[in-house]
Amino acid sequence: QSVLTQPPSASGTPGQRVTISCSGSRSNIGSNTVDWYQQLPGMAPKLLIHSNDERPSGVPDRFSGSKSGTSASLAISGLRSEDEADYYCAAWDDSLHGYVFGTGTKVTVL
Amino acid sequence: EVQLLESGGGLVQPGGSLRVSCAVSGFTFTNYGMSWIRQAPGKGLEWVSRISDSGGSTYYADSVEGRFTISRDNSKNTLWLQMNSLRAEDTAVYFCARRDGYPGYFQHWGQGTLVSVSS
């Protein structure tokens, strides 16, 4: 069972801005940084954001992350058709001594 | 180029055992902690286990504690996950991933290997 809670779905038209929330607790998001992954069907997850708001090389600046307290969010601006995928937040959990993922959000481009 | 290649997945009966492997190349294996992460069909991602760069420290998700064992051979650039007492709910694609930074994130993943537990 996922420890981090995300909305099951989000959608927008091309060019719009979409935001995905991720809610955790003091032992995970409240104590550690948050990462975000994008997963296309049949593929391995791809790291989009690490350490709350850092983009790995090659990730477009349309993707941005933020964290406040025990919650985090991922924003996708200038939505494109290729952004249609599943998105997961994640963080280390000090109580569980493991890495916990969010429930996942399916983004649909209308 | 960093590469991780899993192998060893397959069909196994409930209660059976299976060992999956992850062969890595393109980086100094001894410098990185590693993890196994799984994804049941149509479900989300679940972290399974991690091992330190030396292999001296290991941690497991509660769902596999006591049944799964993670290990590595730094001379062979290989990571393993020994899975015993397998259950239907262990059916998933198993990914190996390299831990980067602190406290750690996963930028490099393998393509995954499917483990199916069924009679």
Average pLDDT in chain A: 96
Residue B1 has pLDDT above 70, yes or no: yes
Task: Please state, for a pLDDT cut of 70, what percent of chain A lies above it.
Answer: 99
Strands A9-12 and A105-109: parallel
Q: Mean per-residue pLDDT for B55-83?
A: 97
Q: In whole angstroms, give the CA distance from residue A48 to residue A52.
A: 10
Q: What H or E segment, with its residue span, contains residue B31?
A: none
Q: One-letter amino acid identity for A7?
A: P
Residue B8 has pLDDT above 90, yes or no: yes
Query: Which chain A residues have a beta carbon less than 8 Å from that of B104?
Result: 92, 99
Q: In whole angstroms, give the CA distance from residue B16 to residue A3.
A: 29
CB-based contacts of B117: which residues, under 8 Å, 6+ apart? B11, B12, B13, B14, B16, B86, B87, B88, B89, B90, B91
Nearest residue to B82 (alpha-carbon basis) of B92, B91, B74, B72: B72
Per-residue pLDDT tens for A33-66? 999 999 999 999 999 999 999 999 999 999 999 9
Residue B97 contacts residue B91 (beta carbons within 8 Å): no
What is the reported pLDDT for A98?
Answer: 94
What is the reported pLDDT for B62?
Answer: 95
Q: Smallest CA–CA separation between A43 and chain B, in Å?
A: 7
Predicted confidence band at A1 (pLDDT cuts at 50, 70, 90)?
low
Q: Which of A20, A48, A99 to mutate to test the interface with B (most CBs of B within 10 A)?
A: A99
DSSP chain A: --SBB--SEEEE-TT--EEEEEE--TTTTTTS--EEEEE-TTS--EEEEBTTTBPPTT--TTEEEEEETTEEEEEE-S--GGG-EEEEEEEEETTTTEEEEB--EEEEE-
Judged by CB atoms closer than 8 Å, whether chains meet at B47 and A37 is answered as no
Q: Which of B3, B22, B45 to mutate to test the interface with A (most CBs of A within 10 A)?
A: B45
A2, A99, A104: residue with CB nearest B35: A99
A50, A102, A103: residue with CB nearest B101: A50
What is the reported pLDDT for A3?
Answer: 86
Q: Mean per-residue pLDDT for B104-113?
A: 97
